[in-house]
Amino acid sequence: MPERTVTVASSVGLHARPAATFSQAAAAKAPLVVTITNGAGRSVNAASILGVLSLGVGHGEEVTLSADGDGADAALDELVSLLESDLDA
């Protein structure tokens, strides 16, 4: 299963608008199921905005994204690029 570790660049972390933007992008990768894991090891479905918000990921924290299936590498690369930008700018 491909994985990517990325540092969250948004100034407010994955809260409100950045979490919504990220979750919508992850949901668009269907039928792939993308999982996001915080530094404490808690994992949620990346397409769930409530799940992403519940992780409490702040600015500068690392998360790990994983997915399995056709196109997983490309999907993860796109999501990593998204998290490396300030989604609240």
Per-residue pLDDT tens, the chain, 89 aa: give them: 899 999 999 999 999 999 999 999 999 998 999 999 999 999 999 999 999 999 999 999 999 999 999 999 999 999 999 999 998 76
Question: Catalytic residue at 15?
Answer: yes
Q: Whole domain around residue 43: which residue ranges?
A: 3-83
**From residue 46, how far is each of 7, 22 by CA, in Å?**
15, 8
- Give me the pLDDT at residue 87, please: 86
Report if residue 71 sits inside a domain.
yes
CATH number at 66 reads: 3.30.1340.10
Report if residue 74 sits inside a domain.
yes
Distance CA 65, CA 37 (A): 6
Check 10, 15, 26, 66 and give the catalytic one.
15
Report if residue 88 sits inside a domain.
no
Report if residue 16 sits inside a domain.
yes
